Amino acid sequence: MTALLTPTRSTPARTLLPRVRSALPGRADTPDWIRLLAVLAVVLTGITALVLAADARSARHGIDVIGQHTAPTVTATEDLYFALADMDAQLANVLLAGSDSTLATVRATSLTTYEQRRTQADADLQQAMTIATNDDAAQQIRDLLDRFGKYQALAADTLQLGDLDHDPAGQPSARTLDAYRSATALVPDLLTRAQKLADTNSGVLSQAYHDTEHTTTMARVRIAVLGVLLLATLIGLQVVLRVTLRRRVNPALALTTVLAAGLLLGGFLANGTAAQQLTVAKQDAFDSLLALRQARAVGFSANADESRYLLDPAHADTYQQGFFDKSQQLASVPAHTLEEYRAALDTALTGYRPPRVPVGVDSFLGKELRNITFGGEQSAASQALTAYQAYQHDDGVLRDRSHTDLHGAIAFDTGKSNDDFGVYDKALVATIEINQHAFDTAIDSGQQALSGWGNWLPYGAAVVFAVLVLLGVRPRLAEYR
């Protein structure tokens, strides 16, 4: 049976080779060889042009998705988290100030900031809705809009009751406090949903990055393969003309070969540059941006926990634990309590010198410190860490004071502590701006590197190459007539 099957298996191979040989011109049939190689060169030129253009368009689309759609969505949702957290902090500050005339400036500033954050959160939700990447993200945004509306209604009730009852500083009436508790109880869910939406969009961005990175890599592989075939065909055609017609150089074909090599090298370098800029945008800039924006959002949420701690003594332990947990998210150090945390942070920062990362590398500030890439970034990040340390010391003063002097603690919280938090936030924003500028520049550079490669450049080159090949072989074929 084996002997019978063996010829059957080899039959296709045995019959295919003679067919290929019969389709090729004879060894002495020079005109047909010239025609075959010329046609093959023109066909390979067309295929190369189509592949170059298609790969360039695909890569540019991927870069555009990252830079113009997905990244802005992540930014909007992280900004939403920050705005929501600060809204509730400002609402608590209004109640902390109460009707105390000495804190009237605090109350007015907090009301103004509350309105600014409310407008900002609404704009972030609208922006996220307009550039939502999928139906699931759109539904998450609609749910957020619904809950955000409920929070605003409860916050308005809280402010109205506080005005009616003329509550003293840090001592809201029972009904005002109940209204505030109802409002602030919605905040954890709002923040969780906002962060989930940001994580969803961040995942989409990461997938788009990997897809585009794969596209640029495979584009270079295809360019290399097609380049070898095209250049080998053009060189082979010139060899045939030289051997059979004793012509040293065919100017048109030589020019075609040089231009084709230039086109292939240009396409290869364009894809390589786009891939490099994409890496800068994603790994060097956006990964830091994500950590920094999360740090900013969580920082404002922690700052709100300080105000809640003073405002609602019945739940003070809960808010203190919340502040501790968020502090560990920002800059983790070995500690189990806030007192241990401040001491451990001081120890970690004693003698701190870059590029050492003094806090946990999985915390937000730790992620940024281990991904320093751009000019001025190290200085801005280090300033943020130092200012954060000062703010943590203020938190210790605030809590100690709250046990004996509530009014003094409120004044300290809304005064020096908030000022030092502002210094920290300013340094954090400066670091964000450095990375945002680098991200935008890298996205623009990646798109510019592929400019023209998706349409006129490869197609125009294919037409020129075809004409040059025709001009190169036509006079030689005429010699055989």
Over residues 148-183, the pLDDT tens digits come to: 999 999 999 999 999 999 989 999 999 999 999 999
| Tokens encoding 316 | 């003070």
Q: How confident is the model at residue 17 (pLDDT cuts 50, 70, 90)?
A: very low
What is the spatial distance between Cα 364 and Cα 330, in angstroms, rounded to a whole number? 5
What is the rounded distance in angstroms from the CA atom of residue 225 to the CA atom of residue 426?
A: 52
pLDDT at 20 over 50: no
**pLDDT surpassing 90 at residue 11:** no
Residue 434 exposed, middle or buried by CB count within 10 Å (0-12, 13-18, 19+): buried
Give the model's pLDDT for residue 398: 95
pLDDT confidence of residue 4: 45
3-class DSSP string for the chain: CHHHHHHHHHHHHHHHHHHHHHHCCCCCCHHHHHHHHHHHHHHHHHHHHHHHHHHHHHHHHHHHHHHHHHHHHHHHHHHHHHHHHHHHHHHHHHHHHCCCHHHHHHHHHHHHHHHHHHHHHHHHHHHHHHCCCCHHHHHHHHHHHHHHHHHHHHHHHHHHHHHHHCCCCCCCCHHHHHHHHHHHCCHHHHHHHHHHHHHHHHHHHHHHHHHHHHHHHHHHHHHHHHHHHHHHHHHHHHHHHHHHHCCCCCHHHHHHHHHHHHHHHHHHHHHHHHHHHHHHHHHHHHHHHHHHHHHHHHHHHHHHHHHHHHHCHHHHHHHHHHHHHHHHHHCCCCCCCHHHHHHHHHHHHCCCCCCCCCCCCCCHHHHHHCCCCCCCHHHHHHHHHHHHHHHHHHHHHHHHHHCCCHHHHHHHHHHHHHHHHHHHHHHHHHHHHHHHHHHHHHHHHHHHHCCCCCCHHHHHHHHHHHHHHHHHHHHHHHCCC
Q: Is the pLDDT score of 101 beyond 80?
A: yes
Please give the model's pTM, rounded to 2 decimal places.
Answer: 0.85
Tell me what percent of the residues of the chain surpass a pLDDT of 90.
62
Q: What is the mean pLDDT of the chain?
A: 88
Residue 1 scores a pLDDT above 80: no
Q: How far apart are the first and last CA of the chain?
A: 57
Instruction: Report the pLDDT value the prediction gives residue 2, as an integer from 0 to 100.
Output: 44
- Would you place residue 35 in the very low, low, confident or very high pLDDT band (cuts 50, 70, 90)? confident
Summarize the confidence of residues 98-109 as an average pLDDT. Answer: 93
The pLDDT assigned to 6 comes to 46
Q: pLDDT: is 31 or 81 the higher one? A: 81
Give 8 or 309, the one with higher predicted confidence. Answer: 309
Among 436, 319, 440, 342, residue whose Cα is nearest residue 391: 342
Residue with tokens 């203190």: 320
Compute φ and ψ for 143, nearest 5 degrees: -65, -40
Q: Determine the residue type at 351.
A: G
Mean pLDDT of 307-322: 94
Name the residue among 103, 102, 96, 114 with its Cα closest to residue 167. 96
pLDDT at 132: 63
Question: Between 130 and 271, where is the model more confident?
Answer: 271
The CA distance from 339 to 90, in Å, is 26
Length of the chain: 481
Contacts of 55 (CB under 8 A, 6+ apart): 215, 216, 218, 219, 222, 223, 271
Q: Looking at the predicted structure, is the pLDDT value of residue 10 above 70?
A: no
CA–chain centroid gap for 83, Å, is: 20
Give the model confidence (pLDDT) of 195-248 as tens digits: 888 888 788 888 888 988 988 899 999 999 999 999 999 998 888 877 765 666
Dist. CA 411–CA 106, nearest whole Å: 9
State what percent of residues in the chain have pLDDT above 70: 90
Among the listed residues 427, 303, 318, 321, the one whose alpha carbon sits nearest the alpha carbon of residue 368: 427
Q: Does the pLDDT value for residue 8 go beyond 60?
A: no
Across 2-31, b (16+ Cβ under 10 Å) vs e yields eeeeeeeeeeeeeeeeeeeeeeeeeeeebe
Measured CA angle at 248 (ends 245, 254), to 5 deg: 105
Q: Under a CB-based contact definition with an 8 Å cutoff, are residues 240 and 34 in contact?
A: yes
20 touches 444 (CB < 8 A): no
Backbone angles phi, psi at 442, to 5 degrees: -65, -40
Neighbour count for residue 353 (Cβ, 10 Å): 7
112 compared with 455, residue with greater pLDDT: 112
291: pLDDT strictly greater than 70: yes
Non-local (6+) Cβ contacts of 479 within 8 A are 245
